[in-house]
Amino acid sequence: MPETESDAVNDAQARNFRLYVEPEIEVLLRVAATLTGPSQAEDLVQETLIRAWRSVDSFDGRHPRAWLLTILRNTNMNMHRRQRPDTFAELGDYLSTRPAFGVEELGTEERVMTSILSDDLERAVGSLDPKFRTVLLLIDVDQLTYAEAANVLGVPVGTVMSRLSRARDRVRRHLRPTFASATGKGKP
């Protein structure tokens, strides 16, 4: 049975979607969870994938992650334009869940430090202003590059670097007393 022009277009669209979009779904889920919290991340990614499907035939194939993160950012802004900001409870849910992919088993030292610092770390990150917290999570948890995080947030790379530096400094200052008492290196 001869293939119609419509079938050929659909096959090309499906091939491009598999090639450019599917390998980035894990990253989209992590970034969406950082931006919206875990309860809304799947909805955001689903809407992003629908928009990517509609435009994949016009995508030039260069920098698929940047293309998808731009779609994700714009979709997030459109979906949440009139909603209230995330609550601390949603952030706590995000910080307490383990990532689904690429997790290696922790060694003894890491497990001890995680158990000592987990609550304090959660409080330290939670105490950050949302613009600093989001950058910290995108870079250190979701492992985006500075450029990718800047693209997601719609800010210059220098702004991402500055916010990340300040966020890390504030978390370190918050954790110093906890670390000192846990290691016995604190003042009497």
CA distance 188 to 47: 55
Total residue count of the chain as it appears in this document: 188
Q: Is the pLDDT of residue 125 over 50?
A: yes
Give whole-number Cα distances, 138 to 4, 61, 76, 116, in Å. 44, 24, 15, 24
What confidence tens digit (pLDDT) does each residue in 1-21 have?
A: 446 766 766 788 889 999 999
CA distance 55 to 14: 11
User: What is the dihedral sign for C-alpha 57, 58, 61, 64?
Assistant: negative
Give pTM, 2 decimals: 0.58
Supply the pLDDT for residue 103. Answer: 45
Give whole-number Cα distances, 67 to 24, 58, 147, in Å. 10, 12, 12
CA distance 121 to 176: 11
What confidence tens digit (pLDDT) does each residue in 96-111 have?
A: 444 444 444 555 555 5
Q: For every residue of 116-127, which 3-state class applies, written as one string?
A: HHHHHHHHHHHC
Higher pLDDT, 143 or 158: 158
| Residue matched to tokens 């985006």 | 144
Rounded to the nearest 10 degrees, the angle between the axes of helix 38-55 and helix 88-96 is: 80
